[in-house]
Amino acid sequence: MALSRIIKHHQFLFKLTPPSSSLLLSCKTLFPPSNQRRPICTKHRNDSFLSSEQVTISNAFVSVLFKQPFSPYNPELNNLAPLLTPKVVEAVLNNLKNWRLAHQFFTWASSQHGYKNSIYAYNTMASILSRARQNAQLKALALEVVNFRCSMNPGALGFLVRCLGSVGLVGEANNLFDQVKKIGLCVPNTYSYNCLLEALSKSGLVDLVEVRLKEMRDLGLEFDKYTLTPVLQVYCTAGQFDKALGVFNEMFEKGWVDEHVFTILVVAFSKWGEVDKAVELIDRMEERGLRLNEKTFFVLIHGFVSESKMDKALCLFDKVRELGFCHNVSLFDVMIGGLCKNNELEKALSLYSEMKELGINPDFGILTKLISSFSEKEEELDRLLQACWEDVSSQPKNLLYSSVLEGLVRNGSIDTAYNLLRMVMGNNRNGGSVLAKCFLDEKEVITLNSNSFTSVINGLLDAGEVDMALTLFREMIQFGCNPSLLLYNGLIDALCKLNRLEESYDLLRQMKETGLEPTNFTHNCIFGCLCRLEDVEGAVDLVRKMCFYGHEPWIKYSTLLVKNLCKHGKAEEACKFLVDMLQEGFRPDIITYSAVIDGLIKIKSVDSGLELFQNICARGYCPDVISYNILIKALCKAQRVAEAERLVNDMTLKGLVPSTVTYNYLIDGWCKSGEIDQAMLCLSKMFGKEREANVITYATLVGGLCDFGRPDDALKLWDEMDRKGCVANRIAYHALINGLCKCGRSSAALVHFNAMKEKEMKPDNYLYIALISALLSDSNLPSVLDTLKEMVDAGNLPDPQDKNFPIIKDAICNLSEDARTSSSVRDLIAEGRIPDVSLSEGAEGRHKPSI
């Protein structure tokens, strides 16, 4: 391959620097020319491998293509067609600056009788498409290379892979590599694999990188510096610290660590927060004559500042000082800005002084950041202005004033910005702050403009000071400054969010009078306010006006209005609103209709909701899973579970997949309808549809099985829930314990009751009553006593008027009569922790221990 053909696409791989004589030498060393190598991509006028005849032919093609818009039927072009060769096509392509024209010519040439593209022609086209980022055409080109069985050498394969990888077509690059190997179009070498590794590395595909490395080992291909560099990069990107260090050490031992490799690891250390290690590595590399460039240091520092990690940024800045890279105003700008943002003002001022000592003149940005940050404390601001008065006084006051005003707003110092603006407007000139006096210099008068007012008004709006913003807005107009459309929109939006509708309309009228037309945003701010206020008539009237401007109401506000109306029992009014919207040409979406269906069901009946559902389906709407779930829930609640099942079948036929919530509604419906086997069948269907049962599913079924006297099945299901990693919550425990109590399984209920408490879930009054009742039935009086004590300690003992108090009364009576527990009960009564229940009632007066 000729040297001129490989330099262009090997530059990045060899050295991340512009072409230089050292680069040319490294390329010659690694890829010496041979008779078997041909150029991949070239500009024909600079290449010696074109004959004079081929140069003439390629120039003729270029001349025709530049004369007029491309046409495949151009007679001049077709006359030249017999002279096409791959070298000519390459040369022509390299002289066409427009990718579209190049692609049209390439496609035309490929279709000419007797002509067949070489891999070098394909690669030239691939290079053009990758630079233009035309991914679709590049993918098609790669497929064509394989389909047309275009043979290639390893260098050409590597180049095509890099073209694909450079635009993110890594999957395509990987597939191309495999196809070329499989068909036998090329036997990849180390260079081919290196290009693929580079593409995979950029996309962070660690697993694929490792697979390709293993392939190289199995094929007996030797690794080189350019093999391990992308491997190091991908491990660093993935945060695989140990593997990255292993690769780096291997490269270091073989003498392959250069500035680029070094930079990769230092940047990775910094991203991992290991700044000390990064600095240590920098020092070690400097001992060996390697060091980071100025740009890399700046990128690292900027990254830490943007993440507010100023301690790390300062650490690297110290290193920059040592290396003498700190004579840059932009670096000081970033550092001072970060310190001001972190409120480390002394350090910021110190850096400013250092900057001055180095002879670097501060720009507007630095002065603005300092003044804006120091503005809250008069003494500090005075000290700052004394330190930088020379720089402040040398700047045009108007520009500096506007910049400081914006900085104050950006830093949240709204009051200071507001007062400074009013000072300059002429209010309280004599009693101004230090900052105001700085700008109220008679030598140069500050001229206020719309931007000055807009910045402060927006700051006031962001701070929620709407009335102050409105006052300043009116003063702005009196001052002769014209508000912008964006400012009107900001004020209208703020007023609408506070439901100050009339004031919003006033601003809208004023805005139109100044010649500004409302935008879609303007109208929708007011539309949203009308919807929140449930003003149906006003909302529909505004929609009519919006039609005139070609604006559309936002669906989220229509849905909000519908939901609010339904919430307040106005489902029919919500339906009328949707009809009016349709008449105005705006079609509500399925979310809005779902809200109405839900409202109709809650206010009127399930059938009214079903009727609307069927109507919208007939009008071409495609309900989603949520719409179906609303109806399925309502039908199950009404114990019309068979109809709900039919709806589920209907949604499945329409290509929708029932959710876990859908199945939970059905399971609950079947359980409450006395069809526990149907409920269990639903669980099987869930697993068949690869839907995971959740804790609500299991809790419902456990409760249902216990209700139908099947506690053993309930316990099996509970164990299955635990095996599948579904963690029981308080509701699930309540369902199981209460169900076991109903089935007379007090011992099992007590075990799970204790397990529930171990998980720091508090039982409620109802659960204590159920457990005590079950334990009484089994005459387990010691456990009754323990449970009663816990109930008293938890403050859950019911009042004597409570419907469940007879169970507690009966428990106390039984405990008082038993020798094992009577003493403890008397102590509790004496302490006033449980009531003194009369023991004279006898057995007749006792309630059965049930709930």
Rounded CA-CA distance 258/403 in Å is 44
96-108: b (≥16 Cβ within 10 Å) or e: beebebbbbbbeb
Tell me if 704 sits within 8 A of 676, measured CB to CB.
yes
- pLDDT value, residue 385: 65
Copy the structure tokens of residue 330: 């932009």
Q: How far apart are CA 339 and CA 333, in angstroms?
A: 10
- Rounded-to-integer distance, Cα 278 and Cα 285, Å: 11
Give the pLDDT confidence score for residue 15 in this predicted structure.
28
Other C-beta atoms within 10 Å of 276: how many?
Answer: 11
Task: Quote the CA–CA distance of 827 and 59 in Å, as a whole number.
Answer: 113
Q: How many Cβ atoms from other residues are within 10 Å of residue 18's Cβ? A: 7
Question: What pLDDT score was predicted for residue 842?
Answer: 45
**CA distance linking residue 122 with residue 146, whole number of Å:** 11
Q: Are 222 and 189 in contact (CB under 8 A)?
A: no
pLDDT at 180: 92
The span from the first CA to the last CA of the chain, in angstroms, equals: 92
As a whole number of angstroms, the distance between CA 360 and CA 332 comes to 9
Distance CA 366, CA 388 (A): 11
Alpha-carbon gap, residue 447 to 820, rounded angstroms: 95
Contact call for residues 93 and 12 (beta carbons, < 8 A): no
Give the separation between CA 722 and CA 699, rounded to whole angstroms. Answer: 12
Taking Cα atoms as reference points, which of 740, 738, 725 lies closest to residue 693? 725
Q: What are phi and psi of 302, to 5 degrees?
A: -60, -40
The 10 Å CB-count burial string (b at 16+, else e) for 355-371 is beeeebebebbbbbbbb
Regarding pTM above 0.85, the answer is no
DSSP for residue 654: T
For the chain of 851 residues, list the mean pLDDT of each consecutive stretch of 10.
28 28 28 34 46 89 85 87 91 89 92 91 93 91 92 93 92 92 91 92 89 91 90 86 86 83 78 70 73 73 76 77 74 82 80 78 73 64 63 65 77 82 70 63 70 90 93 91 93 95 95 93 94 90 89 89 85 85 82 86 86 87 90 92 91 89 93 91 84 91 93 93 90 93 92 91 89 90 89 85 87 87 86 72 44 41
Strands (E), 629-704: none
Is residue 781 a contact partner of residue 805, using CB atoms and an 8 Å limit?
Answer: no
| b/e map 31-46, b = 16+ CB within 10 Å | beeeeebbbbbbebee
Closest CA to 413 of 385, 377, 437, 446: 377
Give the torsion through C-alpha atoms of 374, 376, 380, 386, to 10 deg.
60
What pLDDT score was predicted for residue 442? 53
DSSP state of 41: S
